[in-house]
Chain A
């Protein structure tokens, strides 16, 4: 099982499978040559061997109406029924393919006919309005890249390091380009009243999920009522046909299958912002409306349960902050003893996954790799030790401690506390 997983996780396993095939073929060919003692057979057989699978010798497949990835590509989400995790270790760049965007839902993914779907905006507004999807799409539109991260991402970190893959540990975060109409545009159309300070957002799933959104300056300037994701309509598991996007805030409040916005003066105290998504502290109190996802970074290559070989490796990773841009990412090759600055891939986008890179040559000795980031508010990603010292081990949500990957002399990468 472990071996399977290491192999599956494998584009960074220093794979030698392709050269091996060639060598086997070569050896087979040599054996035939010796056995038969006949050059003609070799020359006669060789074209068949060479052309087998040669894309230059066979016409390719015709154009398709809706594309799929290559059948040679296998990364998938790990599904747990009510959630699925993004295989971050197999992604390039910063955008998560829509098919691999993590999922979290609280009573399944509803099947919604967009022609029947409506958005109602009411409460403290001068003009309660009902919109069809078509009408929402006629409003002036905006697009932006943003990560969405479940508040429970990386939660096992509170209990201490478990020997798991990156996907299993941190796969509840993804980035998409989102398109829709700004919330402020809709609030303007309905004539939101000045005393409105909170907004209930309600989904039309079987959980009827509701969250109270504080109408802060950030929310009013950045929130988007979305119908588009990565150039096409939202995926059903991402809220088709309509979701709220609150860049930088915990996933749960980015309400999917959005059907209603109700303006009020106070939070509505739904189950999801009282019983859940609140952070229990050691003294028995709990943080409430702890909505921002604080800065976090993880090395995605190499990472948990991979097998690496001595030689050159580009250390790669992702960093993000719910408060703004990632200003700096540093990498440590000695368990946090010393730090070196990683290169950030431009463009660095506010409240969006940011790719970092650091060239490295592994000499085969035991090593612990870490990354840490700073965002443009000056916030610095803390160590697990610092987090636990303040919040204890029962707060369950919003874990963003520094991730440590230990590489043993045999090349196996493991999640450790360091």
Chain B
């Protein structure tokens, strides 16, 4: 191609022109190509995705850098959670979080983090995005890990000094981990 044979300064100039085109003109075309045949929507950048990608799942994917222990979590719980869930996570008035082990098959089942929740990662995901109820997303990453550690410890699942972080949380063996079955319905005979 002709431009390959031009002298250095000219090639440099061409480079600048191409760079300008890339920054001004090409994005429009690139939008069109990237958004599929209809050309609607704009490509999401890594920064766009990072800002919104707040979920954490059982594999540990999405858990951020940070850590906490039950000792640190006690203070967070007392100041941010106890008002709704009770001083020890049992009293309410909102969802009971602690206790209820081995009650699920009884006539008075008590569903708590310790007795019912199958994955510990759900604690991080939910507390980070939705708690405290009156100020969601106001806790720091370390505060969420700490209060998660406190809840796990109060439920007798971890030790007081267990460090909860992105590596340890997915490995916590939840008591009701295997308590769920895929939807078997229709399961009830009709008349």
Which positions in A face B, CB cutoff 8 Å? Answer: 106-107, 120-122, 127-131, 135-136, 138-139, 188-191, 200, 202, 206-210, 259-260, 262, 264, 266, 268-271, 274-275, 278, 280, 282-292, 294, 336, 372, 374, 379-383, 386-387, 389-391, 394, 398, 402
Q: Are B41 and A189 in contact (CB under 8 A)?
A: yes
Q: Are B57 and A266 in contact (CB under 8 A)?
A: yes
A-B contact pairs, 9 of them (CB 8 A): A129-B44, A135-B41, A189-B36, A208-B136, A271-B126, A285-B104, A287-B183, A288-B180, A289-B182
Find A128's partner among B44, B116, B119 (CB 8 Å cutoff): B44
Q: Among the listed stretches B45-53, B147-155, B158-166, which one makes contact with chain A, having 4 or more residues with CB under 8 Å of it?
A: B45-53
**Residues in A whose Cβ lies below 8 Å from that of B118:** 269, 274
A30 to chain B, nearest CB (A): 58
Given A262-B55, A283-B105: A107 in contact with B136 (beta carbons within 8 A): yes
**Is B88 in contact with chain A by the CB < 8 A criterion?**
no
**Residues in A whose Cβ lies below 8 Å from that of B48:** 120, 128, 130
Q: Are B119 and A189 in contact (CB under 8 A)?
A: no
A394 and chain B: residue at smallest CB distance: B109
Q: Are B55 and A210 in contact (CB under 8 A)?
A: yes
Q: Are B43 and A270 in contact (CB under 8 A)?
A: no
Given A129-B42, A269-B122: A274 in contact with B117 (beta carbons within 8 A): yes
**Is B179 in contact with chain A by the CB < 8 A criterion?**
yes
Given A259-B52, A285-B179: A269 in contact with B188 (beta carbons within 8 A): no
A206 to chain B, nearest CB (A): 5
Q: Are B188 and A391 in contact (CB under 8 A)?
A: yes
**Residues in A whose Cβ lies below 8 Å from that of B105:** 282-284
Which positions in B face A, CB cutoff 8 Å? Answer: 34-38, 40-44, 48-49, 52-55, 57-59, 95, 104-105, 109, 111, 113, 116-119, 121-122, 125-126, 129-130, 133, 136-137, 179-191
Q: Are A206 and B41 in contact (CB under 8 A)?
A: no
Q: Are B181 and A286 in contact (CB under 8 A)?
A: yes
Q: How far is the CA of A206 from the CA of B137 in the complex (A)?
A: 9
Q: How far is the CA of A11 from the CA of B110 in the complex (A)?
A: 43
B151 to chain A, nearest CB (A): 12
Q: Are B125 and A270 in contact (CB under 8 A)?
A: yes
Given A129-B35, A262-B55: A286 in contact with B43 (beta carbons within 8 A): no
Q: How far is the CA of A394 from the CA of B130 in the complex (A)?
A: 26
**Residues in A whose Cβ lies below 8 Å from that of B122:** 269-271, 274-275
**Residues in B whose Cβ lies below 8 Å from that of A127:** 34-36, 43
Find B185's partner among A264, A283, A284, A290 (CB 8 Å cutoff): A290
B59 and chain A: residue at smallest CB distance: A266
Q: How far is the CA of A209 from the CA of B42 in the complex (A)?
A: 25
Q: Are A206 and B116 in contact (CB under 8 A)?
A: no
A302 to chain B, nearest CB (A): 22
Specify the main secondary structure of chain B where it touches its partner: loop
A62 to chain B, nearest CB (A): 42
**Residues in A whose Cβ lies below 8 Å from that of B41:** 129-131, 135, 189-190
Q: Are A271 and B38 in contact (CB under 8 A)?
A: no
Find B181's partner among A285, A372, A387, A402 (CB 8 Å cutoff): A285
A188 and chain B: residue at smallest CB distance: B36
**Residues in A whose Cβ lies below 8 Å from that of B183:** 287-292
Q: Are A271 and B136 in contact (CB under 8 A)?
A: no
Q: Are A382 and B182 in contact (CB under 8 A)?
A: no
| Besides A127-B43, A282-B105, A379-B186, 18 new A-B residue pairs in contact (Cβ under 8 A), listed by A number | A120-B48, A208-B137, A209-B130, A210-B55, A210-B129, A259-B52, A262-B53, A269-B122, A271-B122, A274-B116, A275-B113, A275-B117, A278-B180, A289-B182, A294-B185, A382-B190, A383-B191, A391-B188
Q: How far is the CA of A381 from the CA of B185 in the complex (A)?
A: 13
Q: How far is the CA of A294 from the CA of B186 in the complex (A)?
A: 8
A181 and chain B: residue at smallest CB distance: B40
B105 and chain A: residue at smallest CB distance: A284
Q: How far is the CA of A411 from the CA of B95 in the complex (A)?
A: 41
**Residues in B whose Cβ lies below 8 Å from that of A270:** 55, 122, 125-126
A351 to chain B, nearest CB (A): 16
B32 to chain A, nearest CB (A): 12
A377 to chain B, nearest CB (A): 8
**Residues in A whose Cβ lies below 8 Å from that of B95:** 275
**Residues in A whose Cβ lies below 8 Å from that of B53:** 122, 260, 262
**Residues in A whose Cβ lies below 8 Å from that of B136:** 107, 206-208
Q: Are A264 and B57 in contact (CB under 8 A)?
A: yes
**Residues in B whose Cβ lies below 8 Å from that of A130:** 41-44, 48
**Residues in A whose Cβ lies below 8 Å from that of B125:** 210, 268, 270-271
B29 to chain A, nearest CB (A): 14
**Residues in B whose Cβ lies below 8 Å from that of A120:** 44, 48-49, 52
A378 to chain B, nearest CB (A): 9
Q: Are A129 and B34 in contact (CB under 8 A)?
A: yes
**Residues in A whose Cβ lies below 8 Å from that of B55:** 200, 202, 210, 262, 268, 270
Q: Are B181 and A288 in contact (CB under 8 A)?
A: yes
Closest 8 pairs between A and B when the two form their complex, measured CB to CB? A380-B190, A284-B105, A284-B104, A208-B129, A129-B41, A128-B44, A189-B36, A290-B183
Q: Are A189 and B109 in contact (CB under 8 A)?
A: no
B27 to chain A, nearest CB (A): 14
Given A280-B104, A286-B180: A387 in contact with B188 (beta carbons within 8 A): yes
**Residues in B whose Cβ lies below 8 Å from that of A138:** 38, 40
